[in-house]
Amino acid sequence: DQQVKQNSPSLSVQEGRISILNCDYTNSMFDYFLWYKKYPAEGPTFLISISSIKDKNEDGRFTVFLNKSAKHLSLHIVPSQPGDSAVYFCAAPEAGTYKYIFGTGTRLKVLA
């Protein structure tokens, strides 16, 4: 059972426009969610997180929105830059364990 899902494997956006990456989840008990960014041949790097008690968290060009009733979160990047081209993973901690559950990732390409 895939508890964290990213249904869009890829997304292309023009430089300067908004990028919206989506993530759905099935477990309403997740305490928080994270977004990781991954460049080719590198490890994932933490980008931004959101607590389940909030509906928005903002850090510079990156904003994450959480819609608990829809079990949906989204990462907004505005304005998008070519350096944002990477694979983005959403993840959530499995309750009572040390594990993160990752989505399958969305490859973002920002076109100059």
Partner 1 sequence: NAGVMQNPRHLVRRRGQEARLRCSPVKGHSHVYWYRQLPEEGLKFMVYLQKENIIDESGMPKERFSAEFPKEGPSILRIQQVVRGDSAAYFCASSPQAGASNYGYTFGSGTRLTVV
Residues that bind partner 1 (CB under 8 A): 4, 6, 9, 32, 34, 36, 41-46, 49, 51, 89, 91, 93-94, 97-105
For residues 78 and 19, the answer to whether their CB atoms sit within 8 Å is yes
**Between residues 79 and 93, which has the closer beta carbon with respect to partner 1?**
93
CB 72 to partner 1: min, Å: 17
CB 82 to partner 1: min, Å: 22
Whole-number Å distance between alpha carbons of 74 and 14: 19
**Between residues 17 and 99, which has the closer beta carbon with respect to partner 1?**
99
CB 38 to partner 1: min, Å: 9
For residues 94 and 29, the answer to whether their CB atoms sit within 8 Å is no
Rounded to a whole number, what is the distance in angstroms from the first to the last CA of the chain?
38
Q: Count other Cβ atoms within 10 Å, centred on residue 33.
A: 23
**Between residues 31 and 111, which has the closer beta carbon with respect to partner 1?**
31
